[in-house]
A and B are shown apart, each in its own frame.
Chain A
Amino acid sequence: MSDATAHPALSAGIPAKVETPFQRFRAEFFESKIATVALAVFGSIVLLAILAPWITPQNPYDLAQVSVMDGRLPPGSEAFDGYTMWLGSDGSGRDLYSAILYGLRISLTVGLASGVIALLIGMAIGLVAAYAGGRIEAIIMRIVDLQLSFPASLVALMMVAALGKGVDKIILALVIAQWAYYARTVRATALVERGKEYVEAAQCLGISRFRIVFRHILPNCMAPLIVVGTVQTASAISLEATLSFLGVGLPQTEPSIGVLIANGFEYMLSGRYWISVFPGLALLFTVVSINLVGDHLRDVLNPRLKK
């Protein structure tokens, strides 16, 4: 998806019969300028986070490279080691540009990991509910409804109150807070798919239940799952930042974007805005770009809106 080589006008011109569904999807996706820009922004953020060790002047968590002399310098100041701190430095003298890129690595890892795990668990449970039916379905869906009646942020907060701090624990908390959204989506789609002719045909051919569910029904449930997945990943990232900001998410030793913002908060009232604001902007660009991509994916993947 991230290779932007497809020319929208070009692929739109190709006759429909040689156009694969993926090509059509790609052409439709890049029709929207906002979504294209958002995808490019998100791609760059991921790239910057991955490349962080090679493109930042310091490793903000290697104490040998951080000097307290550089503490709270405004943007554009020159560091003790000679490089320019374009975004200023934080309370303990870390270059903010470096700290943000390293922080993004943690935030993105937590968001994506919890998103993928929640998707897999929710998908499995939703499929079981849709295919088992009867009492099992009733019990599963009661639990799902029950959980969805609490806001995800509150469930996550409860979980961190119970689990404590740490990357593994926050991922677990986010998975518990989010699996129900996936389960509900998969079950609803799978119920519709189950009634279609191709499933009946597969049953007549004597294909096993397991194979029908995973090879035939599941691929047809992917479109809504992808949409929910993007939106939920954005909300996982923002939820992790919120919990870390409150001091109940990640510890100081795992400084995600939320931890950086929390550290800068105490300096905000004295006018040293940059310590909080720049990490905040990084979070903002990440979350908003994912949401814009998700919003457009919803339009593109919705068969009811097909031209």
Chain B
Amino acid sequence: MTVFIIRRLLQALLVVFMMSVIVFFGVNIVGDPVYMLVSPDADQADIEAAISRLGLDRPILEQYWLFLKGAAQGDLGNSFIFGEPALKLILHHMPATMELAFSALFLAIVIGIPLGLYAGLYPDGMLSKGIMAASIFGFSLPTFWVGLMLIMLFAVELQWVPATGRGDIGSFLGIQSSIFTLDGLSHIFLPALNLALLKISLAIRLTRAGVREAMGLDYVKYARAKGLSTRRIILVHVMKNIMIPVVTVMGLEFGSLIGFSVVTETIFAWPGMGKLLIDAILQLDRPVVVAYLMIIVLFFVLINLIVDILYSILDPRVRLQDQGA
């Protein structure tokens, strides 16, 4: 077991290192950030001063070496635009993204699971067919387009909720978040719903498949024979069994929620990490782009590592297979 974990840790480190090479060299080849930073009427001396101040006059290998040395000490470089450490900028924007991602996950669970349960229990009903058709749309509609439609319907036409920005921030149990104020909730509703749509469809499909499979199994028949009410069979026995895979998958999808939030944040002008990334790409703010991508890579590698380790504990075959390969 320890050997397995060490192997996986080394692999994870290797992945992070490889991604740092790809990301750093990739990002540093595109465009010339200096011309976005100096004023248009700057002379050659000003431009050269800016280049050396940003460290861009050094060979790229040396730049990468400095980046690695800094990264090992938790310093991912300074933003070209803001002059602040890139890591600090990203951490400053992270709570807004996390809040959005958690709200979306919450919506996906409270909307998706009951709808999936219904569709699984009455697969031939009109409503169930409607739910499943809607879930196909949830999968195939591009997120940004749905976001536009949500803005048009709820913010422009009906004017129920504001279209953009983050609302007032409240504090509860020491956690600062906009979901603790009414204004904040009205701001987060649309972006969270937009981000959640894909996951709602996923939750519907997983729950429905689980319910349909479980309803034919012996333990359900036995519970019926014992005289338990349908309500109790479904809510206690069936739900308990199908929740494990559904919750696992939804948890795994959390990483992709953070990834997708790039799109949602741009549409709804949500001040999170994703919006920071897009702005940084457009302004050629390389250190911020590199830092964001490295953090996301780290995030995914960690999630996968945890899942791998948990699975190897739950299912020893995974571990044995890995040693065989």
Contact = CB atoms under 8 A, between A and B. Distances in A.
Contacts of B148: 261, 265, 268, 276-277, 280
A273 B163 CA distance: 14
A144 to B, nearest CB: 13
A153 B259 CA distance: 8
Residue with the highest number of chain B CB atoms closer than 10 Å, among A154, A276, A295 = A154
B49 to A, nearest CB: 26
Interface string B138-158: 011111110011011001100
Contact of A283 (B145, B151, B262): B145
Nearest to B164: A269
Given A161-B26, A161-B27, A277-B152, A242 B293 contact: no
Contact of B293 (A146, A161, A273, A292): A161
B37 interface: no
Contact of A162 (B22, B151, B259, B277): B22
A242 B151 contact: no
A135 B315 CA distance: 25
Interface in B128-146: 136-137, 139-145
B262 A238 contact: no
Size band of the interface chain B makes with A:
35 or more
Contacts of A238: 140, 142
Residue with the highest number of chain A CB atoms closer than 10 Å, among B23, B142, B262, B304 = B142
Contact of B143 (A138, A161, A242): A242
Contacts of A291: 136, 139-140
Given A248-B281, A284-B145, A287-B142, A157 B262 contact: yes
A295 B29 contact: no
B216 to A, nearest CB: 19
Interface in B210-256: 255-256
A74 interface: no
Size band of the interface chain A makes with B:
35 or more
A241 interface: yes
B300 A287 contact: no
Contacts of A268: 148, 151-152, 156
A150 interface: yes
B86 interface: no
B140 A247 contact: no
B266 interface: yes
A246 interface: yes
Contacts of A273: 152, 156
B113 interface: no
Contacts of A288: 137, 140-141
B204 interface: no
B29 A162 contact: yes
A106 to B, nearest CB: 16
Interface in A275-302: 276-277, 280, 283-284, 287-288, 291-292, 295
Contacts of B15: 146
B289 interface: yes
Interface of B: 15, 22-23, 26-27, 29-31, 136-137, 139-145, 148-149, 151-152, 155-156, 163, 255-256, 259-260, 262-263, 266-267, 277-278, 281-282, 289, 293, 296, 300, 304, 325
Given A146-B15, A149-B300, A153-B260, 8 more contacts: A149-B304, A161-B293, A163-B26, A234-B140, A241-B145, A242-B142, A261-B145, A268-B148
Listed from nearest, the 6 A-B pairs whose CB atoms lie closest are: A162-B26, A154-B259, A164-B30, A291-B140, A238-B142, A151-B256
24 contacts: A149-B300, A150-B259, A151-B260, A153-B259, A154-B256, A157-B262, A157-B277, A161-B277, A161-B289, A162-B27, A163-B26, A163-B30, A164-B31, A241-B145, A247-B282, A261-B148, A271-B156, A273-B152, A284-B141, A284-B145, A287-B142, A288-B137, A288-B141, A291-B136
